[in-house]
Amino acid sequence: MKPVMKILQEKKLIGMRTLMSLKNNRTEELWRSFMPLRNEISNKLSDDLISMQVYSDSYFKNFNPDIEFEKWAALEVDSFNIIPPGMETFVLKHGLYAVFLYKGLSTDKSIFQYIFSSWLPNSSFVLDNRPHFEVLGSKYKNNDPHSEEEIWIPVKPIA
C-alpha cells in the first residue's frame, strides 16, 4: 500500500479531547461524548469527522503503550466565532502528510504496524512532530469490514 503525499493547508477544528494511552484506550468513550453534540457546531465545513492524535516529541522514540497522548474527536470549521459549550478549538498546522486510504475494520491495527514498521523505514521520509489524524468521511462505517477512511501521517524528507 503506497500513500499519496499531500500538503495540508492549515485547518481549524472544533471538538472534544481526552488524555489516553494505547493501554488505557478511551476512544469509544470520547466519541460517545462527541457524537450527540456534533450538530451544535454550526460553522462546520463538512460532515467529515476528524479523529486526531497529538503526541509528545518523544512518543515514538521510546515507545511504550502506557504513555499518554491527546485524542480528539472533531470537525473542521471556517472560524472559531461560535464554540459550543464543552468543546475546544485546535489549529492543525500546514505541513506534508503521507495519506493512506484504508479499507477495513477500525479495530484492525495492522495498517499502523505496516506504516510504522514497513513503509516509513523504507521510505525517504521520517515522522514530523505534528498531529496524526484520520478523516472519517461518507464511506466510514464504524466496525464494518467495508469501511473506508484516510489515515494522515505527518512526515518530512530525510535530511
Cβ-proximal residues to 58 (8 Å cutoff; 6+ apart), any chain: none
pLDDT of residue 52: 98
| pTM of the model as a whole | 0.94
pLDDT of residue 63: 80
Listed by start position, the domains of the chain span 4-157
pLDDT of residue 127: 95
4-157 has which CATH code? 3.20.80.10
Tens-digit pLDDT string for the chain (159 aa): 899 999 999 999 999 999 999 999 999 999 999 999 999 999 999 999 999 999 998 898 888 889 999 999 999 999 999 999 999 999 999 999 999 999 988 777 889 999 999 999 999 999 999 999 999 999 998 888 899 999 999 999 997
Nine-digit cell string for 137: 468521511
Q: Residue 152: phi, psi to the nearest 5?
A: -105, 115
Please choose, from the candidates 57, 65, 74, the residue with its C-alpha nearest in 3D space to the C-alpha of residue 20. 65
pLDDT of residue 106: 79
Q: Are 31 and 143 in contact (CB under 8 A)?
A: no
pLDDT of residue 143: 81
CA pair distance 140, 97, nearest whole angstrom: 20
